[in-house]
């Protein structure tokens, strides 16, 4: 977690966004995934370097943590949602 927080503090990201990101669960989730070799599942997408927004996939990429989109995970799992009438 400390490495992620330091990385964000040294970056060019929007200061207002930096106030929110480290105080939430996102950096802890990424740090835990890194420590156990897990993949993070998120609705967020990568943003360009000039975006100045902190997004989970960008931080995952910076720390070599795997990430996958929610819908991509559902496709991989071949999840099916069935509406039943009672």
Q: Is 76 helix (H, G, I), strand (E, B) or coil?
A: helix
Q: What gap in Å lies between CA 59 and CA 33, rounded to an integer?
A: 12
Indicate the pTM of the whole model.
Answer: 0.77
The answer to whether the CB of 8 falls within 8 A of the CB of 21 is yes
For 16-67, write each residue's pLDDT tens digit. 455 566 667 889 999 999 999 999 999 999 988 777 778 899 999 999 999 9
- Give me the residues paired with residue 39 across strands: 66
Which string of DSSP letters, residue by residue, matches 13-40? --HHHHHHTTTSSHHHHHHHHHHHT-EE
Region of poorest pLDDT, from 8-12, 67-71, 73-77: 8-12
Q: Is 41 helix (H, G, I), strand (E, B) or coil?
A: strand
């Amino acid at each position: 977690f400390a490495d992620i927080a330091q990385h964000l503090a040294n970056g060019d990201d929007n200061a207002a966004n930096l106030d929110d990101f480290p105080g939430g669960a996102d950096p802890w989730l990424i740090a835990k995934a890194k420590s156990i070799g897990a993949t993070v599942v998120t609705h967020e997408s990568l943003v360009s370097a000039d975006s100045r927004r902190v997004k989970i996939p960008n931080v995952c990429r910076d720390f070599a943590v795997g990430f996958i989109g929610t819908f991509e995970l559902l496709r991989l799992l071949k999840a099916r949602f069935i509406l039943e009438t009672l």
